[in-house]
């Protein structure tokens, strides 16, 4: 995706994988293009400026962040994982669904959806 478009990734929240993700961003020299603000009491100001919201889960229960992105009318790209995204996105009517683990389909969808939102 970054070969076609300049991008900045914002990962909001806390979790067990944070340190590993921060190290990976450093190892890949992405430090200036990836931010980890952690838990935000009110993430809506940051979320509302997004060109695209990406949910890359392998599985979900009820993806509240996906619902919030839709409420803010942000283009959505989501994996078509079990329990949630397909139902919420009405089979792709309200956002893009890509196969779990298909990073190329994910990148294409992100570039296409982000291009429609912001330069």
Task: Judge contact between 73 and 47, C-beta under 8 A.
Answer: no
Does residue 104 have a pLDDT over 50? yes
Does residue 51 have a pLDDT over 70? yes
Instruction: List the one residue out of 38, 14, 10, 34 whose CA is nearest residue 24.
Output: 34
| Residues 55-95: tens digit of each pLDDT | 999 999 899 999 999 999 999 999 999 989 999 999 999 99
Task: Judge contact between 45 and 70, C-beta under 8 A.
Answer: no
| Residues 5-45: tens digit of each pLDDT | 788 999 999 999 999 999 999 999 998 899 999 999 999 99
Q: Which pTM value belongs to this model?
A: 0.87
Task: Judge contact between 34 and 11, C-beta under 8 A.
Answer: yes
Phi-psi region of 91 (alpha: psi -120 to 50; beta: other; left: phi over 0): left
Q: What integer pLDDT is reported at residue 85 of this predicted model? A: 96
> In residues, how long is the chain?
119
**Domains of the chain listed by start with CATH number:** 9-117 (3.40.50.2000)
Label residue 119 by pLDDT band (50, 70, 90): very low
């Amino acid at each position: 995706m970054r070969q076609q478009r300049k991008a900045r990734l914002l990962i909001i929240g806390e979790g067990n994988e944070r340190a590993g993700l921060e190290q990976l961003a450093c190892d890949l020299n992405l430090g200036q293009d990836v931010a980890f603000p952690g838990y935000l009491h009110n993430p809506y100001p940051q979320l509302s400026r997004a060109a695209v919201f990406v949910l890359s889960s392998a599985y979900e229960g009820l993806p509240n962040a996906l619902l919030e992105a839709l409420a803010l009318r942000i283009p959505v790209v989501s994996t078509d994982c079990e329990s949630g995204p397909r139902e919420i996105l009405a089979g792709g009517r309200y956002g893009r669904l890509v196969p779990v683990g298909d990073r190329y389909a994910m990148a294409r969808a992100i570039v296409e959806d982000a291009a429609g939102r912001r330069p």
